[in-house]
Chain A
Amino acid sequence: MERKKILVIEDDAILSKALHEGLKEIKNIDILLARDGKEGLEKTKEYIPDVILLDILMPKMNGVEVLEKIRKNESIKDIPVFIISVVENEESIARCVKLGIKGYFIKSNYSLESIVETVKEYL
């Protein structure tokens, strides 16, 4: 069976690690961690992920921009994206929704488990 890939673009180290630990549960997946948007997009050149978990508040390039880039990128534009953020900014949410996301999680409101469960379904 082909191993699925999950790309996590998250700048906070702790959260990144937590997500990694949580996602580990899923069988036969590889977890790709990126610290910022640029790194994330670079990684897509190597591997086409099956799901992307994207943070909004990041230095250099914020999540919305990354999402834009993803959607513009032919090879990765159809990949399901989940926003995992602390930002509840209506504007951002609307933009993301417009660009096409599968879910918007406010980090502190969701357990790792629930996030993992949701992501699983898109693999």
Chain B
Amino acid sequence: MTNQLKEKLIESEERYRIVTEQTGQLIYDYDIPSGKIEWFGKTKQLIGYSKKEMDAFGITGWEKMIHEEDRKQAVEELDKAFKKGDKYNVVYRFQKKDGTYIKVADSGVFVKNKKGKLSRMLGVMKDVTEEYFNVRKMEESEKKYKAFVERSNDGVALLQEGKVVFINSKLEKMFGWTRKDAVGKSFLNFIYPTEVEKVQTMYEERLRGKKVPAIYESTMVNKNHEPIFVELNAGLIDYNGKKADLVYVRDVSERKKILDDVKEEKEKAEGYLNIAGSIILAMDIDGKITLINKMGNKLLGYKEGELIGKNWISLCIPKSQGKMVREVFQQVLSGKKKFPEHFVNNVATKTGEERIISWNNSRILDDENKLIGILSAGEDVTDKIKAEEELKNSEMILKTVLEGSPIPNFYIDKNHRIVYWNKTLEKFSGIKAKDAIGTDIQWKVFYEKKRPCMADLVVDNNIDAIKQLYAGIYKKSELIPNAYEAVDYFPGIGKNGAWLSFTAAQIRDVKGNVIGALESLEDITEMKLSEHALIEKMEDIRIEKEKTEKIIYGIGDGVFVLDKNYKILLFNNAAENISGYTHKEAFGKHFSKILKFVSETDNTDKSGFLQNTIETGISHKMENHTLLITKSGEKVPIADSCAPLKDREGKVIGGVVVFRDVTEERKIDQMKNEFISLASHQLRTPLSGIKWFIELLLQGKAGELTIQQKDYLTQVAQSNERMISLIEDLLSVSHIETGKKFVIEKEKAHPSDFVEESLIDLTPLAEQYGIKLVSKITKNCNCTIFVDKDKILQVYYNLLSNAIKYSKKGGKVIISCNSDKNSVIVSIQDFGYGIPKKQQKRVFEKFFRADNILTKQTDGTGLGLYIAKAIVEANGGEMWFKSEENKGTTFYFSLPKKK
């Protein structure tokens, strides 16, 4: 209880006392539950007893002092009033110390306690012995009567038949009316409107002889129509032979006010006493309880008033603490300088339960500064202390659990004070536990400047702040309730800063109240670095991949990649454009679903080159005259090749196909070929002309020729033949190129026949070059092949003439024939210049002539091999060669035995 409060309490008691002392009346304060009554005022003067004596009589004493004739009625009337909670007004004879009786008017109020129960009577006792009633025994002498009435200190009014007959001057003064105003008027005019009914009733009943209180309070009005509280003392008399009412009027405004004030003060005092939460206890110097408020009673389990007068220490202090409390009590009483204003001790309730109370003590002094008691205000701290203990227990448990943890962690209480700081954290942060505990320096682990850590925010349940301070990097923990975790970079930790992953969780007691927060952290710098490195690397890879993709997607040729299961892994823009399928449609599908490669000539499937590449791991070209059937069914001529994709170990993992739409090329080729064709045909005409006329000349049809003339003409004829030959070759080439059916008329033939024939045909040429022709035919060459005779003969012819031309003078050319189960193999070998290795792959190209013979030989179109190979292949065979520069060349070709 605060000092202020204490003062107020004492003050109001003071006032109360003073107020009561000032009156010339007796005031009593009767505490109904306890039965104690306290008297104020000049008791000795009025009744002859001292206050102490009066107090000691108590309520029973008082009752005895009532004249036995009046007692019953008085008590009854009081009881009635008590039941109604009314004010009361009782008149009875009261015995003085000297034995004589005075007539007293006992009037007062009942005071309710906070519960609304009537607990107190505050009353005033007035000596009314004065001859109010004597006056009724007066003679009817009006004059005497009037004089007497005039003498009265009170206002007097005489009423007859409801009208005012007479008022004394006192009454005039009291109310401001004159006799003139009042006489002859109904007395009710002077009654306050709200009281009119009551007064009228009283009056009428009195007249009828009913028992009505002689003295009662009411309210009248003065000349200004202001209400005046009055006490009316009415009685019947005979006046002028008729019944009249003689009323004594006393202004009790002041009395009422006093009583009201007293009541108010008392109520205030009650109020102060019953402030929630505080126990207010007062005891006298003997340790007897003189006052205990509602809270106190409630806590200790007693009814109101039960404790008053009991010994505090004996009854309410547990035996274990009795001695100690007694000591304190003594200290307080003795006024020793060391006066414990604050003290904590246990109290025992009625049921024996112990509660812990924290007391605030002060001394009660009387006006002579003598100690008359102790006033204490107490607070039940039992729960608080229990909670504190429990908290300490939980903290102990937590400490034990966290002690051994290899993860740095710390624990803060509700007030953000570090309660616990584990060893691992000491190492991590460099801050010792002893320096951390009790402080709020948890921020130092992380930051340069003071700011809340996750634990601080979590313990306050400040989710908004978490959202703000850890925006983008926090998340609610999925594992732990009421916990938040985050990952962040702290530049201030260590040399280069650190990445930490930290979690802060609320710790709650059994009731669910937050009592602290636990934060643990993990250094994930290394992990992050490798993550970063990885991310960077992946970024690099991604950029490279993008570049590559851009290139692939951008190049003009169609590119698609197959895995070893022939599923499309990549399909670039050009591939999309040519095939009509989108990348999306193609991706992941078996190529055959998307790309159909067919032969231009017979619509057969030509996707073999893909299979060949992937199976053999060697690049394969698309066959000539391959068409691609687009999504819309169009046939597009395409060209190019498939190359294998290999892994690090060289294993084939797929293939890359590059192709292009050669429609344009073809058109151009077509045009070219048409042109060649046309030109060739046109050239043939004049060449024929030359040929025939030379022939005629050589035949002598134009006359005998000299040898020289013959010779010259022969030269001309030969040149001409060369030109004709060239044209033949060009025409052949253009036929091959246009894919027109190489007119293959297959017939039965014998390989040896060709040898014979070509040898015969080429003997002149061989002689010219000084070359010996040799044939080696094995027995098994005596077989049948089905070929286009003329064309195959040309092959022999071309190869042999090459061999002869590129041999060194005096050399030989060997033509051999062999066969196996399936085919006949013919070889033509020379020992001439050979083909330089670098140029060998170009051997079968149109117009190709190796560098090493260009200088030596001007003869030759460069078309012979190209045509020969085409013929052989058209007949179902293959052609290849072996060559070494300056050693010679052997050409081979095979022809199938089957039809």
- A interface, CB within 8 angstroms of B: 12, 14-15, 18-19, 21-22, 57, 86-88, 90, 106-109, 111-113
- In angstroms, Cα B662 to Cα A49, docked, is 52
- In angstroms, Cα B691 to Cα A81, docked, is 23
With both beta carbons as reference points, the residue of chain A lying nearest to B725 in the complex is identified as A108
Complex interface: chain B residues within 8 A of A86 (CB): 681-682, 684-685, 688
Tell me if B401 is interfacial: C-beta within 8 Å of chain A. no
The answer to whether A112 touches B685, judged by C-beta atoms less than 8 angstroms apart, is no
Most buried by A among B685, B731, B741: B685
Most buried by A among B689, B699, B743: B689
Smallest CB–CB gap between B673 and chain A, Å?
13
User: Which 8 pairs of residues, A with B, have the shortest CB-CB distance?
Assistant: A107-B688, A86-B684, A18-B692, A14-B689, A108-B724, A108-B684, A86-B681, A112-B692
Complex interface: chain A residues within 8 A of B711 (CB): none
Q: Offer 29 A-B interface pairs, CB within 8 angstroms, sorted by A.
A: A12-B689, A14-B686, A14-B693, A15-B685, A15-B689, A15-B692, A18-B688, A18-B689, A18-B692, A21-B692, A21-B701, A22-B696, A86-B682, A86-B685, A90-B740, A90-B743, A106-B684, A107-B684, A107-B688, A107-B691, A108-B684, A108-B687, A108-B688, A108-B691, A108-B724, A108-B728, A109-B728, A111-B695, A113-B695
Partner among B681, B687, B741 whose Cβ is within 8 Å of the Cβ of A57: B681
Complex interface: chain B residues within 8 A of A21 (CB): 692-693, 696, 701
For chain B, give the interface size range. 20 to 34
Complex interface: chain A residues within 8 A of B724 (CB): 108-109
Smallest CB–CB gap between A92 and chain B, Å?
11
- In angstroms, Cα B688 to Cα A15, docked, is 7
Partner among B685, B695, B699, B741 whose Cβ is within 8 Å of the Cβ of A12: B685
Consensus secondary structure, chain B interface: helix
Given known contacts A21-B701, A90-B741, what 4 new A-B pairs fall within 8 Å (CB)?
A15-B692, A86-B688, A107-B684, A107-B685
The answer to whether A87 touches B692, judged by C-beta atoms less than 8 angstroms apart, is no
- In angstroms, Cα B689 to Cα A18, docked, is 7
Contact with A along B720-739 (1 / 0, CB 8 A): 00001001100100000000
- In angstroms, Cα B77 to Cα A119, docked, is 178
- In angstroms, Cα B692 to Cα A106, docked, is 13
- In angstroms, Cα B55 to Cα A34, docked, is 178
Inter-chain contact total with CB atoms closer than 8 Å: 57
Smallest CB–CB gap between A16 and chain B, Å?
10
CB within 8 Å of A: which B674-688 residues? 681-682, 684-688
Partner among B686, B692, B701 whose Cβ is within 8 Å of the Cβ of A19: B692
Given contacts A15-B689, A18-B689, contact A112 B684 (CB under 8 A): no
Smallest CB–CB gap between B273 and chain A, Å?
135
- In angstroms, Cα B743 to Cα A109, docked, is 18
Complex interface: chain A residues within 8 A of B695 (CB): 22, 111-113
With both beta carbons as reference points, the residue of chain A lying nearest to B731 in the complex is identified as A88
Complex interface: chain B residues within 8 A of A19 (CB): 692
Complex interface: chain B residues within 8 A of A106 (CB): 684
- B interface, CB within 8 angstroms of A: 681-682, 684-689, 691-693, 695-696, 699, 701, 724, 727-728, 731, 740-741, 743
Smallest CB–CB gap between B276 and chain A, Å?
124
Smallest CB–CB gap between B423 and chain A, Å?
101
Smallest CB–CB gap between B69 and chain A, Å?
168
Complex interface: chain A residues within 8 A of B740 (CB): 90
- In angstroms, Cα B692 to Cα A107, docked, is 9
Smallest CB–CB gap between A56 and chain B, Å?
9
Partner among B693, B741, B743 whose Cβ is within 8 Å of the Cβ of A18: B693
With both beta carbons as reference points, the residue of chain B lying nearest to A88 in the complex is identified as B731
Partner among A15, A57, A90, A108 whose Cβ is within 8 Å of the Cβ of B727: A108
Complex interface: chain B residues within 8 A of A108 (CB): 684, 687-688, 691, 724, 727-728
Complex interface: chain A residues within 8 A of B693 (CB): 14, 18, 21
Smallest CB–CB gap between A116 and chain B, Å?
10
Given contacts A90-B740, A90-B743, contact A22 B681 (CB under 8 A): no
- In angstroms, Cα B610 to Cα A74, docked, is 60
The answer to whether B684 touches A22, judged by C-beta atoms less than 8 angstroms apart, is no
Complex interface: chain A residues within 8 A of B684 (CB): 86, 106-108
Complex interface: chain B residues within 8 A of A18 (CB): 688-689, 692-693, 696
- In angstroms, Cα B728 to Cα A90, docked, is 15
Complex interface: chain B residues within 8 A of A87 (CB): 681
Most buried by A among B688, B691, B695, B701: B688
Complex interface: chain B residues within 8 A of A12 (CB): 685, 689
Most buried by B among A18, A19, A22, A57: A18
Complex interface: chain A residues within 8 A of B687 (CB): 108
With both beta carbons as reference points, the residue of chain A lying nearest to B686 in the complex is identified as A14
Smallest CB–CB gap between B719 and chain A, Å?
13
With both beta carbons as reference points, the residue of chain B lying nearest to A84 in the complex is identified as B688
Complex interface: chain A residues within 8 A of B691 (CB): 107-108, 111-112
- In angstroms, Cα B695 to Cα A12, docked, is 18
- In angstroms, Cα B21 to Cα A101, docked, is 170
With both beta carbons as reference points, the residue of chain A lying nearest to B682 in the complex is identified as A86
Partner among A57, A88, A90, A111 whose Cβ is within 8 Å of the Cβ of B692: A111
- In angstroms, Cα B727 to Cα A86, docked, is 11
With both beta carbons as reference points, the residue of chain A lying nearest to B740 in the complex is identified as A90
The answer to whether B686 touches A112, judged by C-beta atoms less than 8 angstroms apart, is no
Complex interface: chain B residues within 8 A of A113 (CB): 695, 699
With both beta carbons as reference points, the residue of chain A lying nearest to B693 in the complex is identified as A18
